[in-house]
């Protein structure tokens, strides 16, 4: 077996960990801070930074937002970028970091819709501080960006995009409203399930995905019910971090294959989209594997995931799917129709999903009809 594994060079985890950010910044020099509208830079550790350049962003990261922030970075030439926010802010900062020393707009470098020009080999160092739990974007090498013009999300991807440091402080997630907790938390759960069953899994990503699933099972419903439950928030922050480490090294699957066109066509939050298709996609994968590849080890992985999610050592695949369905309902995740997807667009979504890069990790090749059925059952 041959595989590689890479992640952020330095990871700090725990309640209060974000107080370490000023020291980490001081190792580099002048800072640009990309932050969400929910964060007040005049309080907490950001207040201790020496006159940083501030760039604010909320909502899915768009190409225009990256180009605007790039202009600021190219003019101010920061030594380090602090990404203090949800996955959207972190991805925006990672994109700016890797393109800051160049002079081209982001579209030139994008997969699928752009020219795919190679990324620079180095980035302005990024210190990622997630305020959601989450996306794991603090340890991944890509940034899915939204093009309104092309109605799709496409990734900027390169080894230099992995942040130099990830500071994972569950206290920062305590202010997340329930809908953000639900969407981000279900994204983290999906990002553990898909690497566990991925064709590209390896023993390290397996270990991380298993622990992440157990943490998500322990924390997700509790964090949604009571946002001030620090133990639940800690489980979810860790699940998110582990999911990012797993996905960056084992790839994903059909849920994320569908999420790429669905995100572009609806503009809905990524985590809500993943949540809306998760149960039907798992069922479709299990059915396809059972019918066409009954010896595929991924079937055992789905059974293992069922045991981890339900906490029942006798749980079977169907129990895991039932747990997912129940959790999605409890967390009040709307179906695709309510996220803005018109049934007339199902065929377009299916065609785009089948060629999306995440599909390469799916444990079985789904047919177009199977993908259409997933959309139908999630509508």
Ligand X SMILES: NC(=O)c1ccc[n+]([C@@H]2O[C@H](COP(=O)([O-])OP(=O)(O)OC[C@H]3O[C@@H](n4cnc5c(N)ncnc54)[C@H](O)[C@@H]3O)[C@@H](O)[C@H]2O)c1
Interface ranges with ligand X (CB under 6 A):
36-38, 58, 60-61, 85-89, 91, 131-132, 134-137, 140, 142-144, 172-173, 175-176, 180, 183-184, 187, 244, 270-271
Q: How many whole angstroms separate alpha carbon 89 and alpha carbon 128? A: 9
> What residues does 129 pair with on adjacent strands?
84
**Among candidate residues 298, 285, 239, the one with its CA nearest the CA of residue 377:** 285
Among residues 136 and 261, whose Cβ is nearest to ligand X?
136
Shortest approach of ligand X to residue 351 CB, angstroms? 21
Within 10 Å of residue 79's Cβ, how many Cβ atoms?
13
Among residues 132 and 197, whose Cβ is nearest to ligand X?
132
86, 113 contact by CB (below 8 A): no
Q: How many whole angstroms separate alpha carbon 213 and alpha carbon 236? A: 10
Shortest approach of ligand X to residue 179 CB, angstroms? 9
Whether the CA torsion 315, 316, 319, 321 is positive or negative: it is positive
Among residues 310 and 358, whose Cβ is nearest to ligand X?
358
According to DSSP, residue 62 is labeled: B
> How is 300-364 classified by DSSP, letter by letter?
HHHHHHHHHHH--TT--HHHHHHHHHHHHHHTTPPPGGGGT--GGGHHHHHHHHHTSGGGGG-SS
Shortest approach of ligand X to residue 138 CB, angstroms? 9
Shortest approach of ligand X to residue 90 CB, angstroms? 7
Q: How many whole angstroms separate alpha carbon 90 and alpha carbon 84? A: 7
Among residues 190 and 197, whose Cβ is nearest to ligand X?
190
Among residues 87 and 320, whose Cβ is nearest to ligand X?
87
Shortest approach of ligand X to residue 95 CB, angstroms? 10
Tokens 């994903």 belong to 252
Shortest approach of ligand X to residue 113 CB, angstroms? 15
Among residues 170 and 320, whose Cβ is nearest to ligand X?
170
**Among candidate residues 116, 115, 166, the one with its CA nearest the CA of residue 140:** 166
Q: How many whole angstroms separate alpha carbon 66 and alpha carbon 45? A: 25
Among residues 188 and 317, whose Cβ is nearest to ligand X?
188
Shortest approach of ligand X to residue 274 CB, angstroms? 9
Q: How many whole angstroms separate alpha carbon 10 and alpha carbon 164? A: 6
Nearest residue to ligand X, by Cβ distance, number only: 86
Among residues 131 and 249, whose Cβ is nearest to ligand X?
131
Q: How many whole angstroms separate alpha carbon 83 and alpha carbon 80? A: 10
Shortest approach of ligand X to residue 103 CB, angstroms? 24
């Amino acid at each position: 077996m041959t595989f590689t594994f890479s992640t952020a060079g330095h990871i700090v985890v725990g309640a209060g960990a974000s107080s370490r950010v000023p020291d980490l910044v001081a190792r580099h020099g002048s800072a640009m801070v990309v932050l969400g509208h929910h964060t007040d830079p005049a309080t907490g550790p950001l207040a201790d930074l020496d006159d940083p350049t501030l760039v604010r962003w909320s909502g899915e990261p768009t190409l225009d937002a990256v180009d605007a922030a790039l202009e600021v970075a190219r003019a101010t030439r920061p030594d380090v970028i602090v990404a203090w926010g949800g996955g959207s802010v972190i991805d925006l900062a990672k994109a700016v970091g890797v393109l800051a020393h160049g002079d081209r707009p982001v579209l030139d470098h994008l997969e699928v819709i752009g020219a795919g020009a190679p990324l620079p080999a180095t980035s302005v160092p990024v210190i990622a501080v997630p305020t959601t739990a989450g996306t794991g974007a603090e340890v991944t090498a890509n940034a899915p960006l939204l093009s309104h013009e092309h109605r799709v999300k496409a990734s900027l991807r390169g080894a230099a995009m992995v942040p130099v440091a990830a500071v994972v402080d569950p206290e920062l997630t305590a202010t997340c409203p329930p809908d953000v907790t639900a969407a981000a938390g279900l994204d983290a759960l999906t990002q553990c399930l898909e690497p566990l069953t991925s064709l590209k899994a390896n023993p390290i990503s397996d270990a991380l995905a298993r622990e992440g699933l157990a943490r998500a099972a322990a924390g997700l419903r509790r964090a949604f019910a009571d946002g001030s439950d620090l133990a639940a928030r800690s489980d979810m922050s860790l699940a998110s971090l582990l999911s990012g480490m797993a996905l960056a090294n084992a790839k994903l699957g059909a849920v994320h294959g569908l999420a790429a066109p669905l995100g572009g066509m609806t503009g809905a939050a990524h985590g809500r989209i993943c949540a809306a298709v998760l149960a039907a996609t798992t069922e479709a994968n299990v059915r396809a594997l059972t019918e066409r590849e009954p010896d595929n080890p991924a079937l055992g992985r789905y059974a293992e995931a069922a045991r981890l999610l339900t906490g029942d050592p006798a749980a079977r695949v169907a129990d895991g799917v039932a747990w997912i369905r129940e959790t999605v309902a409890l967390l009040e995740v709307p179906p695709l129709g309510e996220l803005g997807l018109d049934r007339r667009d199902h065929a377009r979504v299916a065609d785009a999903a089948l060629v999306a890069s995440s599909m390469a990790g799916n444990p079985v090749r789904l047919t177009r009809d199977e993908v259409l059925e997933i959309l139908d059952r999630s509508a």
